[in-house]
Each structure stands twice: as structure tokens, then as C-alpha cells.
């Protein structure tokens, strides 16, 4: 029978993985939107679109990427991942 500590640890790991996947999807989707809009702006010679999309979505994309990166770092401890070469 699993202990409460093990159950709580598994719940925390599942929540962390779900949040990581959600954050990854959010910042990648925002990145695709930003790059796509900038490509359209370059093709149509619309400088306002190229810079405006970064003004509108750049901060949200950067925050989502940063939070997801920090969560990934924390997960390395939760899941006890080891680097190649560590024993």
C-alpha cells in the first residue's frame, strides 16, 4: 500500500508536468504567432506589424518561456533527473 508521502509526491509531479506542458504549448504558440505575423509584416512591408506584434505579445511570450524554464529546472529535482556522466 503506497504511503501518503509517495501519493503526495506523485500528485506534485503530475501537476508540475501538466503545468510544464501547458507553459511549453503557450510560449511556443505565442512564438509561432509572433514570427508568423512578423513574416507577414516583412512580406507586406508593414513595419508597424513587425514591431507591433512584439509590443503586444513579446512580454507574455517571454514570461511564459521564463516560468516554463524555471518549472523545468524545479522538475529536475522533483524527478531526480541526472545529467549524462553523473552516477
The tens place of each residue's pLDDT in the chain, 87 residues long, gives: 455 567 877 898 899 999 999 999 999 999 999 999 999 999 999 999 999 999 999 999 999 999 999 999 998 888 877 776 655
* Predicted pLDDT at 63: 94
Burial class of residue 50 in the structure, from the number of CB atoms within 10 Å of its CB (0-12 exposed, 13-18 middle, 19+ buried)? middle
Q: Fill in the DSSP letter of residue 45.
A: T
Provide the H-helix boundaries in the chain.
4-43, 47-78
pTM to 2 decimal places:
0.74
* Predicted pLDDT at 77: 85
Angle, helices 47-78 vs 4-43, to 10°: value is 160
The CA distance from 36 to 21, in Å, is 22
Match 508597424 to its residue by C-alpha cell: 48
**Side-chain-side CA neighbours of residue 34 (13 Å):** 18
Amino acid at each position: 500500500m503506497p504511503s501518503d508521502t509517495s501519493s503526495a509526491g506523485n500528485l506534485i509531479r503530475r501537476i508540475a508536468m501538466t503545468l510544464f506542458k501547458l507553459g511549453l504549448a503557450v510560449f511556443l504558440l505565442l512564438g509561432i504567432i509572433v514570427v508568423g505575423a512578423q513574416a507577414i509584416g516583412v512580406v507586406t512591408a508593414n513595419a508597424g506589424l513587425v514591431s507591433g506584434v512584439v509590443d503586444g505579445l513579446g512580454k507574455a511570450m517571454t514570461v511564459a518561456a521564463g516560468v516554463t524554464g524555471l518549472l523545468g529546472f524545479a522538475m529536475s529535482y522533483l524527478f531526480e533527473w541526472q545529467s549524462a556522466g553523473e552516477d
